[in-house]
Amino acid sequence: MRRRLPPLKALPAFEVAADRLSFSAAAEALNVTHGAISRQVKALEDHLGVALFRRFNRRIALTEAGLALLPSVRQALQHLEAGAAQVAARPRQGPLVVSCLATFMMRWLIPRLYAFSATHPGIEVRLSASHAPVDFAREGVDVAIRVGKAPWPAATSAHPFLEDRVGPVCSPAWLAANRLARASDLKRHTLLHTQTRARAWRDWIEANGVEGVDASAGLRFEHSYFSLEAAAGGLGVAVGSLPLVEADLRSGRLVAPFGFAASGQHYCLLTARQDGDIGKIQAFRQWILGAPGDAPGLRGSS
């Protein structure tokens, strides 16, 4: 059945103008021009075939038809608003979607996630691996974990929870078989790079004033996880972030011959600013800000 609906765009203009008895006030409230309000009301009047306002020199007044129409328009808009809000809220009532750096997810988050699930058994967590800038609304993401520093994108709340400390790492067997008494000795060995942190070696070399080492030479891998596995397998030396290698350091699978130093960045929990009061997001934020960080004895290594 075909509905003979009035021009829907005109209904908010009519309602606000009727409440304020002013096209100018309605235009200001809806952030449009006086002419736009006037045209929308006129389109509604033309559709209905009746005048809704009496227009005077400096004021307007509702006609009998306008007074009769106003309650129905207000009720219809309220129903639309309530229905839209209900639909928009549904995804927020579902699983908590966490967009996370892939290596951080595997090496830091997943081993600790049982603690969050034990405390919040009613919240299902879904993990999505990404290092790209996040669009919360378009991607359906509730929270994101990225490494970086301010400024973060507008309308984003950032909560640093773990300092990024970096340093060269390699396997104990590789270190025993190769001379690496000082940082400049790296020029004779294979550097392992990762595309997701392409400047890691360059930044470390510059920060430590190391001379004679070609920061662009060596083998390249897509993710930090692969470069760290290559280092553990004896293929060379990678730059490791302490939160990502702490388990390997404890087990002796990797060693850090020059220790770790602050990179100036932090692992941050990012949320859309308008979503900060959603229960499942609040719960995850409170948990991760209090989650155990580095292993005992590793925090503050230098």
pLDDT tens, 177-209? 998 889 998 999 999 999 888 899 999 999 988
**Phi, then psi, of 161 in degrees rounded to 5:** -130, -10
Domain boundaries, the chain: 10-89, 95-161+265-289, 164-264
Paired residues of 100 in beta bridges: 129, 145
Q: Do domains 10-89 and 95-161+265-289 have the same CATH topology?
A: no
| Confidence (pLDDT) at 2 | 65
At 265-302, the pLDDT tens digits run: 999 999 998 887 899 999 999 999 987 654 333 333 32
CATH code reported for the domain at 10-89: 1.10.10.10
Q: Per residue in 75-89, pLDDT tens?
A: 988 888 766 655 555
Q: What is the pTM of this model?
A: 0.65
Q: What is the C-alpha separation between 91 and 94, in angstroms, rounded?
A: 5
pLDDT in tens, 15-48: 999 999 999 989 888 888 999 999 999 999 999 9
* Percentage above 90 pLDDT, the chain: 65
Return the pLDDT at 284: 95
Options 3.40.50.261, 3.40.50.2300, 3.40.190.10, 3.40.50.300; CATH for 95-161+265-289 is: 3.40.190.10
Fold of 164-264: D-Maltodextrin-Binding Protein; domain 2 (3.40.190)
In the chain, what's the furthest Cα-to-Cα distance? 95
The predicted pLDDT at position 299 comes to 31
